[in-house]
Structures are given as C-alpha cells and as structure tokens.
Structure 1
Amino acid sequence: MTDSALDVTLRPRRSVLYMPGANERALEKAKTIPADALILDLEDAVAPDAKPAARERVCAAASSGEYGLREVTIRVNGLDTQWHADDVRAAAAAGPAAVVVPKIGSASDVHAVEKALEAGGAPDHTKIWAMVETPDAFFRAQEIASASERLNVLVMGTNDLAKELHAEHVPGRAPLLTGLGLALLAARAAGKVILDGVYNDVKNLEGFEAECVQGRQMGFDGKTLIHPGQVDPCNAVFAPTEAQVEESRAILAAWDEALAEGKGVATVNGRMIENLHVENAKRIIAVSEAIAQLG
C-alpha cells in the first residue's frame, strides 16, 4: 500500500517517536518500529559539531522512501539558532511529511518558517508542526494554530513548559494542565491535530500508560515518545477499542433507522442519540479504519 492510500486528514498519529539524527543505527532501526510517525531530530539529540553531518544524514533518510507508511518528519533547530536556516533549506529540498520547529512563539514565527520552506522549494505536502513550549506560546496557541494552512500539527513541549513554570514532574501533571488545556482548545478551534508531550521515565511503563490514558481522555490525537518500548502501549491506548467501534456502528445504524422513520433522535442501549453522537461515531470508525490501513 502506498502512502497516498491513506486519507491524510485522518492519518493516525497515535505514536510519534523522536529518533536521534546523528545516530545512523537509530535511523535504520526506525524502519522496523511500529510508530505511526517519526521525528528525525536535528535539535536536542545532536551535538553542535555533529549537526551538519546529521542534517545530511536525516534529509537523505527522509527522502529515501524506506520507512513504509510511517510519517517521516524532521525536527530542525530553533529560529534563533545558527543552524536553523540551513536546516530548513535542506529539509525543504528533502520534502519530508513535515518540518517540526521548536519553540514557536507567535504567528510571525510560523510565517517565517513558511516563507523559508517556500523559498527552499518545499513541496505542498511538507507541513509545519509547531512545538508549543513556553508560557507565552501557550497563551498564543490559537494565534499559532491558525497562522497558516501549511501548519497542521501542534506538538506539546511539556519538559520545557515545566522548566519555564518551575514546576515539578508529578503524576497527573496538575501544574501543566492549564497550558495543555489552552493548546487543546486552540487546536480544535483551528481544526488542527495536537500531540501530547513526552514521558521521561522510560522504565515506568505503568506511569507511562496512565499518562497516555490521561492524554487520550483530554482529547490529544497521540503522544510524542522518546523510546521504542513506548510505542506499542501508546498505539493501544490511542486506538479506538473494539467496543467503541461496535457501539459506533450501532449508533449509525440506529440513526439511519430513525431518519428513515422521520425522527430526529434515536436510542441505543437506553441512551438518547443526537447528531453530535453520530458525528463522533463516524470519527471513531474512520480513525479505526485508517489505523487498519497501516497494517
């Protein structure tokens, strides 16, 4: 199945794994990891003197076509760094699914990245994923999310947010919920995808799964990850369950029957069903079918 066979508006992004761009073995291993998307990293994971070589390696990987249906993106260095312009120029030529840009703080930052991609000849399919990481950016999340049609994903930078807030990393993430909630509202208002931040304790799978469940319940589309061992549990949590799919099909069947009888409401398992439930049922089924296409 080709990449174009997926409906890009419903592309699963349950698990989005960071891979260090300076590590050739990691880039090779990523071809076999069942993550929905990959972020080939030129920023935090790469030492300053290794950045030029990593840039060449990552761009070659992103344009290789060897990652199957995985969505391959490149995280460039920030706008205020000496490497940013060269990163974006090279990424534009490579044509990945997206360029992930750290510390986006305003619509003007988005516009700057967009202009640089266009100047570099980036294809239309190369989108912008904006990382929202600072208090100011969270307050401006709606401005950022609606700044460009090329921007289609917001990525939460929860480690940097915690640092800026002087907050502790605690179960339940109470110190971060205000910011995350603002970003969720902004993403949904602008019709964009939103990804939860990383979970740092890679050995604590119980805590990781609990945070995945929290993220799904809040409304995130998926989660960014820092270890391959997090991929499978993340995929499971962010996928609709069989029970949810079966209930959704029952809702659509009952709704169709009600419409045929000239009614504006239906009942499923004793619950009143209205149009909003129907729209949610359609979304659940569509997401489940899109995941099934990944194999």
Structure 2
Amino acid sequence: MAADLRLCRSLLFLPASNPRAIEKARGLAADMIFLDLEDAVKPADKASARAAAVAAAADGFGGRPVAIRVNKIGDPWHDEDIAAVSASAADVMIVPKVDSAGEVAAITGRSAKPVLAMIETAAGVLDAHRIAPHTAGLIAGTNDLAADLGIPPGAGRAGLLHALQAVVLAARAAGVAAFDGVYNRLEDQDGLAAECREGRAFGFDGKTLIHPNQIEAANRLFGPSPDELDTARRLIAAATGGAERFEGRMIESMHVEQARWLLARARAEG
C-alpha cells in the first residue's frame, strides 16, 4: 500500500449505494474515502452496492486511498464482500465489529488487502492489543461501542475515554494508524471542532466522518497548525543534542523527532 495511513486526517464514509455521493466525493478534500457496504446500505441493495463500490474503487478518487467496508462476520453478505473487495482496486478493507484477533487473522488469511479493524464492542477493546498487529490500523467505532457499554444517548464521551485510549495504545504498540469515531451532529461545527481537538489530544491520527461539511474541521484540526510548525522549525534549529533548554522548557532528542514528524506530515499534506 503506497499511502501512509497515519497521514490521513479526514476519512469520509459514503454509502456505496449512492452514486451521486460517490461522484461528489471525487471533488472533496477528504484524505481518504470509505465506501460502505454495511450500516448505510439496505439489505435489498447489498449486491448492487458491492458492485458499485468495486467500480468506484477502479475509477479512483484522484490518487487518494480508498477503502471498502464489508459487512460484519456472520452476516449473509460477508463472504461475497470479502471476495469482491479482495479482487478490487481498493487500497484497504474495513472490517466492522472485530471482537478478537482470531477474527481479523482469519480474514487476512483469505485476503491480501490491508485491513482497518473497527473496534466497536467491549470485547474488541479488551483484545485490541492483539487485533492491531494483524491490521494497517484501528478505527474506534464510537456509536456501537457506546451502545455496547450501555452509555445513554447524548451522554458525551466521558464513558468512552478508557476505550478510546486503549485503541490508541494498541495501535501505537503495533505501529499502525488509529482513527477516531464519527461525530453525529451534522450542523454542530463547534461540537465537531471540540471533538477533533480532543481526538488529536488522545493521539488519533484522524477522524472518520459522515458528511462533507465535516472535512474542513478534521483537516485543519488534525493537521499541525502554523504556530506548531514554526515552533518545530525553531526547535530543530536550536537543538544541539542531549537535554537542553528551549524557550522556557526542557527538550531532548524525542522532541526533535516529534518536530521532524510534524514537518514531514505538513509536507505530505501539501
């Protein structure tokens, strides 16, 4: 896979059954496109959506990575989805509701496609550290996870904090990407911005999205700010090795590497 998934800030879910949304996405600024065969598609449309997703992946999205989300293990469409996505031009296969390392290992044994595993249950969180090494990254499926944990609708993310951090920890230990869950309130730009800031502060690389009007905030808030980049350049220029003082704080080689990563990410994002 040519793309470094850790550079993806905005990951837009689209129903594969919606040709208008797919065509519109070709002109959007999302870093990665997710074509959905699962929750966003009615049972009667599963087969046609699968064919549409394969065709859309073949046409491409301007060089951006594209993923197809299959139906979950145990669903009647799962096996056909795996076969179709494996033979497609999609860069990544998204597998929802992964509960164990054995489940994702069974899929990677059948397909050469890199996998993004969605952690959407308590069982998945508890096994995330074993799931992550079989994947190209983890996605926190916050809606289903909140329901599985019994968190009331509208209660916020306080009850999810341990689970979200567990997803990031598992991904980092395995050296793979980690993506935050979706934000449901489509017209609440302030709430979206706050959750993007929080997700980046937790260590997520980017955010999964469900509407084009969420792309700008995710790109802006998961990417380094101009102030961060200026500070990174000054830090690298000032560093001479070992522990030393820089603008009122102590830095060492770890901070130099962080600064270099920020600058490399900014260059990759253009």
Q: TM-score, normalised by structure 1?
A: 0.88
Matched, 1:245 2:229: yes
2:245 alignment partner in structure 1: 267
2:92–2:114 CA contact under 8 A, matched in 1: yes
Distance 2:5 2:260 in 1: 12
2:115–2:137 CA contact under 8 A, matched in 1: yes
The amino acid across from 1:113 in the alignment is I
2:123 alignment partner in structure 1: 136
Distance 1:270 1:24 in 2: 54
2:137 alignment partner in structure 1: 153
Moved more, 10-19 or 206-215: 10-19
Distance 2:6 2:218 in 1: 16
The amino acid across from 1:249 in the alignment is R
1:92 alignment partner in structure 2: 86
Helix, strand or coil at the partner of 1:94: coil
Distance 2:130 2:45 in 1: 34
Matched, 1:103 2:97: yes
1:121 alignment partner in structure 2: none
Distance 1:10 1:79 in 2: 24
Matched, 1:214 2:187: no
1:123 alignment partner in structure 2: none
Structure 2 gaps, min length 5:
none
1:156–1:197 CA contact under 8 A, matched in 2: yes
1:174 alignment partner in structure 2: 158
State the Cα distance separating 1:50 from its structure 2 match: 0.7
1:11–1:290 CA contact under 8 A, matched in 2: no
2:5–2:177 CA contact under 8 A, matched in 1: no
Helix, strand or coil at the partner of 2:138: strand
User: 1:213 and 1:102, CA in 2 relative to 1: closer, same or farther beyond 3 A?
Assistant: same
Tell me the percent identity.
Answer: 43
User: 1:34 and 1:171, CA in 2 relative to 1: closer, same or farther beyond 3 A?
Assistant: farther
State the Cα distance separating 1:9 from its structure 2 match: 3.5
Helix, strand or coil at the partner of 1:103: coil
Helix, strand or coil at the partner of 1:39: strand
User: 1:54 and 1:116, CA in 2 relative to 1: closer, same or farther beyond 3 A?
Assistant: same
Helix, strand or coil at the partner of 1:32: coil
Larger Rg: 1
1:42 alignment partner in structure 2: 37
Distance 2:152 2:93 in 1: 30
Matched, 1:285 2:263: yes
1:195–1:220 CA contact under 8 A, matched in 2: yes
State the Cα distance separating 1:265 from its structure 2 match: 2.8
Structure 1 gaps, min length 5:
119-125
The amino acid across from 1:141 in the alignment is A
Q: Deviations over 1:185-234 (max 9, x none)?
A: 11111111100000111011111111111101111100000110000111
2:132–2:174 CA contact under 8 A, matched in 1: yes
Distance 1:169 1:156 in 2: 17
Q: TM-score, normalised by structure 2?
A: 0.96
2:72 alignment partner in structure 1: 78
The amino acid across from 2:42 in the alignment is A
Distance 1:270 1:175 in 2: 36
The amino acid across from 2:20 in the alignment is R
Q: Deviations over 1:11-63 (max 9, x none)?
A: 52111000011011111111011100011000011111111111001101111
Distance 1:195 1:171 in 2: 21
User: 1:56 and 1:10, CA in 2 relative to 1: closer, same or farther beyond 3 A?
Assistant: closer
Distance 2:257 2:194 in 1: 27
